[in-house]
């Protein structure tokens, strides 16, 4: 009888421990944290810690409805690309035939605010924030 109670208690404890992270990671409908930049056009500006101008400063990042396809528009030129979510509040944006991309973290996706830095395309290898920080704001 004691073995049954002990087994039941262990199963209940395992279920509680397993449910806590799932509950904590659940998306809040008021503040989604899925690592995907919502569709729209975002202006790329220099991050506040950036002491040098970024090569992508004053460009626009367009994110399409499929949530994956992107377009970098700088002046009259454009470069297609895509985003890959890598965490609940992080995404990598890579551009076709370009060795650098963006490592972005959401600040407030509802307001269209993201921050980050340049990275080696599709990897966690990032440029230092004082040299390459960027901000995205929805237009």
In CATH terms, the fold of domain 40-138 is: Lipocalin (2.40.128)
Q: How far is CA 100 from CA 69, 109, 125, 127, in A?
A: 17, 23, 10, 10
Q: Within the chain, where are the H helices?
A: 2-25, 129-132
CA neighbours within 13 Å on the CB side: how many for 121?
9
| pLDDT of 27 over the 60 cut | no
**Residue ranges of domains in the chain:** 40-138
Using only C-alpha atoms, the chain has a radius of gyration, in whole angstroms, of: 20
Structure tokens at 32: 């989604």
| Placement of tokens 């101008």 in the chain | 53
Contact predicate 132/118, CB 8 Å: yes
Query: pLDDT tens digit string along 59-70?
Result: 999 999 999 999
Query: pLDDT tens digit string along 85-99?
Result: 998 889 999 999 999
At 8 the pLDDT is 47
């Amino acid at each position: 009888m004691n073995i049954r109670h002990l087994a039941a208690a262990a199963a209940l404890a395992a279920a509680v421990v397993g449910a806590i992270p799932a509950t904590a990671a659940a998306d809040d409908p008021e503040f989604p944290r899925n690592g995907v930049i919502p569709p729209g056009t975002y202006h790329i500006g220099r991050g506040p810690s950036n002491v040098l101008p970024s090569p992508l400063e004053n460009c626009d990042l367009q994110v399409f409805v499929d949530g994956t396809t992107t377009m970098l528009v700088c002046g009259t030129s454009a470069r297609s690309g895509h985003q890959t979510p890598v965490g609940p509040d992080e995404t990598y944006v890579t551009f076709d035939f370009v060795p650098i991309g963006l490592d972005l973290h959401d600040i407030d996706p509802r307001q269209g605010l993201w921050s980050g830095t340049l990275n080696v395309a599709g990897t966690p290898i990032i440029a230092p924030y004082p040299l390459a920080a960027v901000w995205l704001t929805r237009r």
